[in-house]
Structure formats: C-alpha cells, structure tokens
C-alpha cells in the first residue's frame, strides 16, 4: 500500500473550509477513512496475504489524532493475522525548522481552520517502531532490514521535504551495501521499499520535479544493479506504473503504486514463490461501506472527475463554476476575466478530433478523409482520458490509434516551430529537446507494456563477487 493519506472524521465539519481543502488535492480527504477501510477489509479477507507493507504518507499532514486512529487500525490488522511493516514519509510529520517540512496540522470548522496537536519527526520512530523496525535485524536511522519468510525486505526511509534531496546519506549507503552483501551470502532474495520513486514514472516527472525523486537515486540505482537487486516498490507520485532499467547485466524494476485514497485507488498484491515476485493490482471496490455511489462517486469528486465537472460547469453556468471551484480557482481573478475564460472554454470544449488531426498532417501522414471521419469525437474527452491515465498508467493511445497519430503530428509540428524560432527546449526542461519524447510515455505504455502486473525473477544473484574491502 502507498500514500494512504488518512484523515480523521473528527477533524472536520461540512463547510467551505473543508471543501476548499479537498478541491486542491489529488486525493480524497473526507472519504479517506472509508476508502482505507475498504482496502484493509480486502487484505483481511485475503487468506493468501500474510504481510502488509505500507510505504509512507500514512496520514494527511502530521495530525497526531490521525496517527492514533491509523495505528489503531494497524493493530487490528495484526490481531486479524497480518504482519505489518511500515515506512513513514513527508506527510507524516510537521517540521520545526531544521527539517524544513512545511506541513501544518489543522482541523476544519465551517468557515475557518484551527491548529491541532501535531507530530514531530523523531516521534514517528516511537509511534511506528512496533510495525517492522522493532523486529528488524538491522536498522539505520528509520530505515531497516528484516527477514520475511526467507526473503530480505529492506525498507528505506526517505521522508524528504520537497525542497532538498532525501534518502540515505553516505553512511546509510554503506549500511545498505552491507545488508545486500549479507543477504547474498545468506541466499536471501531482496525486495526493496522506499517512498519516493527511484526510476521516474515519466521523463516529464524527473525533468520538472527532480526533488520529488528519491534523493541520490542515481547512486541507489548503481548500488542495486551492482548487487543484483531486481525490484524496488515505491509510492509518492500517486502514479501506478512499472518501469525498468538495465546495466546490460542486471535489470532493476521500479514498481510504483498509486495512492490508496486517489480517485483511482489501488494497492498491489505480490506473491513470492520460487524466486519470482508475481505482482498484480487490486482496485478500489465498486461498493464502499459508508460512501453512497461507491467508486464512481470517489472518481467524480476527485481530480480528473472533479476537473471535468469544473470545465463543464464553467461553460454551462459560470456562477455555479465559481462556487464549485472554491479552494482551487481564485474567485476574484475568475470573476474579473469571466469575459475571456468562458468563451475560451466554450471554444475549446467544442473542438473535435477531426480539427485536431488537420494540424501536423505532414508528420502524422493522416489523410483528409481519415481526419473527417473523427468529427464526432471531442478533443476535451481525449484530454481527460490522458489526465486519468496519467495516474492509472496504461494510457490507451497506442500507435495503432487515430489519437496517437494526431498527437504525433501535433508534437512534431510543435518541435518544428520551436526549431524555427530557435527555442531550445532542453534549456527549459532538463535534457529534453523533443516534445514527442516527453509526451509519448503519457499517451501509451512505453515502459514494460503493462502497468498493472508483471512477474519479476528475484532469484539471488550468486554471481556477484565482492572484492575485499
């Protein structure tokens, strides 16, 4: 499980304040207890599952009460027969200077916010020690290494603050290498877990948000490849993708799991057998106790579903749009520029795919007849499909689709225009000089072909030889 983002029901009442908070987030806030519970029930009912690994951002923003309630639920999981291993991350504490974390623990009255007891980073160690670290074979700060049924699980704490790099320091890397050498000598296959991505879900992600990666990910990748570690499980991005790198000798997979509480909530089930990790996906169930409308309701109030309603409402009823957008759309500016925003959105939502196909035909090779046959499809629908699949992975615009060719044509035309204007993309986006290179992985799976499942060989790599010292 990743990014549970649990928020207590006791910390808010219905009103503008909590609505504003919800509108600005990718995850559900109000419904997070029900959504978490739905997944915990699935896990409890699954007789095959004996160990639950949760990789950080357990709660909303360091609220002490959220930790207390979340921990109570973890204890219940244990009572019901599951072993629970936990990592904490940035959202789980409130910084006070030296660690720079800017999260503030608040509750929501009808029209205002109020401070609530918070959690400091050092307190997390004590709170979550019973879940993994307390039984670990070895630990470094809040990272730890533990034997699970003959496999070596190593959980790296990287609760960075979004401003600077996070992850193991040099001494920590030495500890990690020692653990990997020991595991290899003992014949244990290794599974690694950390919060931030080690391999970016999309090139775009690393280009725009380098500090949202595992700090020192280049170094970590080298270490893992060198010691024959094949898989690392990560969260944080809320993007559900499986990506791979290779050094020609070993392969490393980063299995990213979306947030439990996202509009597209999922967890992963991993079966370890005969040196193979068989990784599958479990979706948020259609029906959720306490949520009328279940999964569909969650999808409509959160992220893509919410943005879609926002755009549709702006075109239909602008005053209603201002109400619906509170917390996300700056009301004064939206009111001031109503005369531009409304007609612009009206024009954009009316665009059809036939129109979009006409641009970049030189590159896409589409004929006029082919373009004409897509008059009924709207550009806005394609945009929202892409937005939804940004987080769920496996976007459907594969090379055999009309949309793929349109996007190919448009981005290549864009590249040509940039070249004519002598604008170098790589100057603004770290190391990328083509719009298509950035865009293609978002339109279809250019990674491992399937973001939902994969079988990865994790046999121990006895061929790794270690020089003395």
State how far the alpha carbon of 400 is from the alpha carbons of 142, 354, 405, in Å: 48, 17, 8
Residue 58 CA to residue 103 CA, distance in Å, equals 14
> Would the CA dihedral through 215, 220, 222, 225 be positive or negative?
negative
User: Reduced to 3 states, what is the DSSP secondary structure of residue 121?
Assistant: helix
Q: Using CB under 5 A as the criterion, which residues of the chain lie in contact with Fe ion when the complex forms?
A: 3, 57, 89, 236
Nearer to Fe ion, 230 or 241 (CB): 241
Residue 265 CA to residue 42 CA, distance in Å, equals 13
CB of 155 to Fe ion, least distance (A): 15
Neighbouring residues of 150: CB distance < 8 A, sequence distance ≥ 6? 188
Nearer to Fe ion, 236 or 405 (CB): 236
Nearer to Fe ion, 142 or 183 (CB): 142
Closest alpha carbon to 13 in 112, 119, 118? 112
Residue 316 CA to residue 310 CA, distance in Å, equals 10
Taking the CA atoms of residue 165, residue 166, residue 170 and residue 172 in that order, the dihedral angle to the nearest 10 degrees is 180
CB of 90 to Fe ion, least distance (A): 5
Q: Supply φ then ψ for residue 279, to 5 degrees.
A: -105, 125
Q: Which helix (H) or strand (E) holds 84?
A: strand 83-87
Nearer to Fe ion, 6 or 40 (CB): 6
Count Cβ atoms below 10 Å from residue 296 Cβ, excluding itself.
10
- Specify which residues 270 forms β-bridges with: 279
Q: Are strands 106-108 and 113-115 parallel, antiparallel or unpaired?
A: antiparallel
Nearer to Fe ion, 61 or 65 (CB): 61
**Cα atoms in the 13 Å half-sphere on the side-chain side of 12:** 24
End-to-end CA distance of the chain: 37
CB of 87 to Fe ion, least distance (A): 11
Nearer to Fe ion, 363 or 391 (CB): 391
CB of 248 to Fe ion, least distance (A): 32
Nearer to Fe ion, 67 or 236 (CB): 236
Residue 445 CA to residue 241 CA, distance in Å, equals 9
Residue 412 CA to residue 321 CA, distance in Å, equals 35
Nearer to Fe ion, 236 or 374 (CB): 236
CB of 93 to Fe ion, least distance (A): 12
Nearer to Fe ion, 120 or 412 (CB): 120
Q: Which helix (H) or strand (E) holds 461?
A: none
CB of 35 to Fe ion, least distance (A): 14
Nearer to Fe ion, 262 or 445 (CB): 262
User: Reduced to 3 states, what is the DSSP secondary structure of residue 256?
Assistant: strand
H-assigned helices in 188-278: 203-208, 217-226
CB of 195 to Fe ion, least distance (A): 6
CB of 213 to Fe ion, least distance (A): 11
Tokens of 342: 């409304």
Q: Which helix (H) or strand (E) holds 14?
A: none
CB of 4 to Fe ion, least distance (A): 9
CB of 16 to Fe ion, least distance (A): 25
């Amino acid at each position: 499980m990743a990014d549970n983002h649990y928020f207590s029901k006791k910390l808010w009442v219905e009103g503008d304040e909590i609505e504003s908070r919800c509108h600005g987030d990718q995850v559900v806030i109000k419904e997070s207890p029900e959504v978490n519970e739905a997944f915990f029930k699935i896990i409890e009912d699954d007789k095959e599952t004996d160990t639950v690994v949760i990789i950080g951002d357990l709660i909303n923003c360091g609220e002490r009460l959220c930790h207390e309630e979340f921990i109570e639920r973890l204890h219940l999981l244990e009572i019901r027969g599951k072993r629970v291993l936990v990592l904490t991350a940035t959202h789980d504490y409130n910084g006070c200077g030296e660690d720079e974390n800017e999260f503030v623990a608040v509750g929501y009255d009808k029209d205002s916010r109020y401070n609530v007891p918070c959690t400091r980073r050092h307190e997390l160690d004590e709170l979550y020690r019973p879940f993994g670290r307390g039984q670990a074979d070895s630990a470094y700060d809040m990272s730890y290494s533990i034997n699970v049924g003959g496999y070596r699980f190593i959980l790296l704490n990287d609760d960075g603050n979004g401003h600077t790099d996070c992850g193991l320091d040099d001494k920590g890397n030495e500890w990690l290498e020692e653990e990997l050498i020991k595991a290899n000598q003992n014949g244990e296959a290794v599974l690694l877990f950390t919060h931030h991505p080690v391999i970016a879900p999309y090139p775009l992600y690393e280009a725009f948000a380098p500090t949202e990666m595992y700090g020192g990910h280049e170094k970590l990748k080298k270490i893992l490849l060198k010691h024959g570690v094949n898989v690392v499980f990560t969260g944080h991005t809320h993007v559900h993708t499986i990506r791979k790198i290779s050094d020609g000798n070993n392969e490393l997979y980063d299995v990213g799991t979306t947030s439990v509480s996202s509009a597209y909530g999922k967890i992963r089930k991993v079966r370890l057998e005969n040196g193979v990790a068989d990784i599958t996906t479990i979706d948020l169930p259609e029906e959720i106790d306490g949520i009328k409308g279940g999964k569909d309701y969650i999808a409509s109030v959160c992220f893509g579903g919410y943005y879609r309603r926002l755009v549709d409402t702006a075109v239909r009823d602008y005053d209603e749009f201002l109400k619906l957008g509170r917390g996300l759309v700056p009301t004064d500016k939206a009111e001031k520029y109503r005369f531009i925003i409304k007609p612009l959105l009206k024009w954009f939502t009316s665009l059809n795919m036939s129109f979009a196909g006409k641009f970049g035909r030189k590159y896409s090779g589409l004929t006029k007849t082919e373009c004409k046959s897509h008059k009924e499809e709207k550009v806005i629908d394609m945009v929202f499909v892409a937005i939804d699949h940004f987080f769920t992975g496996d976007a459907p615009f594969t090379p055999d689709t009309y949309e793929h060719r349109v996007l190919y044509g448009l981005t290549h035309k864009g590249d040509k225009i940039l070249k004519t204007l002598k604008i170098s993309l790589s100057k603004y986006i770290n190391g990328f000089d083509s719009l298509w290179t950035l865009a293609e992985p978002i339109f279809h799976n250019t990674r491992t072909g399937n973001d939902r499942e994969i079988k990865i060989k994790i046999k121990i790599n006895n061929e790794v030889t270690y020089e003395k010292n």
